[in-house]
Amino acid sequence: MKNIVLFGPPGAGKGTQAKKIVEKYGFVHLSTGDMFRNELKNNTPVGQKAKAYMDKGELVPDSVILEMVENFIKNNMNDKGFIFDGFPRTLPQAEGLDEIITRHDTAINGMIEIFVNDEEIINRITKRAEIEGREDDKNVEVIENRINVYNREKDSVKEYYQKQNKYYKIDGIGTIDEIFERLCNIIDTI
Ligand code: AMP
């Protein structure tokens, strides 16, 4: 099994790349953002709890996330592995993920940061708002808050993986295929 964490600010292209990675490697895709949007659409208690945070661009509390992730992993165990997209986003989430994944007799092979600067991110999210119509992409203040939250938590998550020699970084500017190739070069060797 190979388990990979895709890390990067909102709009870095994690979701797009995760889908391509799933096609090539057969991993199971775990996106906490997609999970919350789904819960919200179905108006579940988790969705109702998450809504207030998502609307403001704040992070949903770690306890809510970890329980949801644990259930997902339990129900989607497979031979190939998982690609984690938008999770973990905080140090307690990274620690929690290790606990969960160890309980399932496997480990994280690497965390790959897709690096994109803040200015480019704002441009991309504004464009995505026109195409996908995501509520949290439409408001500039919410977008800025999501970037600030990411920048606030980023170093602690990065250091957690650096200490384990599991941190990798790629340039997130380029075509979808160029970025995919950069990711595959790392995934193939870890
Ligand atoms: P995303 O599509 O990954 O940007 O997620 C959309 C929103 O869902 C975020 O702005 C958060 O409010 C919430 N969310 C998604 N993943 C997480 C996470 N790992 N930890 C906390 N909140 C999250």
- pLDDT tens digits for 140-158? 999 999 999 999 999 999 9
In sequence order, what are the beta bridge partners of 83? 4, 29
| pLDDT, averaged across the chain | 96
CA 109 / ligand 1 centre spacing (Å): 22
Above pLDDT 70, what percent of the chain?
100
pLDDT at 134: 85
Q: Tell me, what's the pLDDT at 135? A: 85
For residue 48 the two structure tokens come to 């109702």
Position 56 pLDDT exceeds 90: yes
pLDDT tens digits for 114-131? 999 999 999 999 998 889
Rounded to two decimals, the pTM is 0.96
The range of the structural domain enclosing residue 46 comes to 2-187
Place 70 in a pLDDT band, splitting at 50, 70 and 90: very high
Which residues, including other chains, have CB under 8 Å from residue 19's CB and lie 6 or more apart?
29
Provide the domain count of the chain: 1
Candidate of 36, 124, 137 to mutate for ligand 1, largest count of ligand atoms within 8 Å of Cβ = 36
Pocket test of ligand 1: the residue of 5, 54, 97 to mutate, having most ligand atoms within 8 Å of its CB, is 54
How far, CA to CA in Å, does 53 sit from each of 33, 124, 149, 158?
A: 12, 22, 12, 23
pLDDT greater than 90 at residue 91: yes
Span 25-50, pLDDT tens digits: 999 999 999 999 999 999 999 999 99
Euclidean distance between CA atoms 44 and 38, whole angstroms: 9
CATH of the domain at 176: 3.40.50.300
Taking every pair of Cα atoms in the chain, the longest distance, rounded to a whole number of angstroms, is 43
Q: Are 22 and 183 in contact (CB under 8 A)?
A: no
136 CA distance to ligand 1 centroid (A)? 10
Tell me phi and psi for residue 114, to 5 degrees.
-95, 110
Residue among 21, 24, 33 at smallest CA distance from 83: 21
The number of the ligand 1 atom at minimal distance from the alpha carbon of 146 is: 10
**Angstrom distance (rounded) from CA 129 to CA 132:** 6
At 164 the pLDDT is 98
